[in-house]
Amino acid sequence: MDGSMIERRTLQTKPATPEALAPYGKILGAGTGAPAGVNDFYDGKIAVSAPVDFVSDEDTCLSLATLQPRTFELKYLERHFKHTQTFIPLGGKPFVAVFGAPTDSEIPDLDKLEAFTFDGSAGFTMHIGTWHEFPFALEADTNMVVILRNETTRNLSTANVENNEAHGPDLDKKNLAQRVGTIFEIAV
């Protein structure tokens, strides 16, 4: 599809709240979980909670991503079939994340995509199959811990990229401009 055929659409960001994020996953931050039921050895000085139900069948890794501001354009969306990918911000820097509800189709429902602004005090864990793009930094050097499967990282390697998309048993990354002729501009 050539550039003259691209439709440009706008996604307006909204605050990330537990209620707003519920269709896609859960907020990961202080006060968002249930007590983990562990013994209190420290006279109430350490509170352990289970903020999300993290799921991964195996081969899980933890990585650190450093984000720089980039154009607020959504060209790609991806989803994972085997794990609940998690993003945890470090340093309190704000960011934007875009989500689409899980679908059985080849692409998400483009009319129902949502963009959320996170203030940097909390991250998120997505439901399996949630369509998303890597978060957009609002400030330079935004660091995030990313918990995902090693298989997903392998699926994203250059050897698996074909026609500007990547696919594998745990990854379905689609190029929206190529597939449906649409790029979303994110209004921050």
Q: What is the pLDDT of residues 74-128, one digit of tens each?
A: 999 999 999 999 999 999 999 999 999 999 999 999 999 999 999 999 999 999 9
Residue ranges making up the domain that contains 35: 3-187
pLDDT computed for residue 154 by the predictor = 83
Close Cβ partners of 3 (under 8 Å, ≥ 6 residues apart):
none
- Asked if residues 52 and 84 have their Cβ atoms less than 8 Å apart, the reply is yes
Q: Tens of pLDDT along 39-75?
A: 554 466 546 555 667 777 778 887 878 889 999 999 9
**Beta strands of 103-181 (E only): which ranges?**
114-118, 123-126, 131-132, 136-137, 142-149, 161-162, 165-168, 171-175
pLDDT computed for residue 46 by the predictor = 46
- Asked if residues 16 and 97 have their Cβ atoms less than 8 Å apart, the reply is yes
pLDDT computed for residue 34 by the predictor = 63
The angle formed by the CA atoms of residues 104, 180 and 82, to the nearest 5 degrees, is 30
pLDDT computed for residue 98 by the predictor = 97
Q: Tens of pLDDT along 133-147?
A: 999 999 999 988 899
Q: Based on the structure, what is the number of domains in the chain? A: 1
Please name which of 56, 61, 54 lies closest in space to residue 154, comparing C-alpha atoms: 61
Total Cβ atoms within 10 A of residue 8? 9
Q: Residues 28-41: what's their mean pLDDT? A: 59
Please report, for the domain that includes residue 133, its CATH number. Answer: 2.60.120.480
Give 173 or 31, the one with higher predicted confidence.
173
Give 170 or 153, the one with higher predicted confidence.
170
pLDDT computed for residue 69 by the predictor = 92
Q: Tens of pLDDT along 116-133?
A: 999 999 999 999 999 999
pLDDT computed for residue 28 by the predictor = 74
pLDDT computed for residue 137 by the predictor = 94
SS3 47: coil
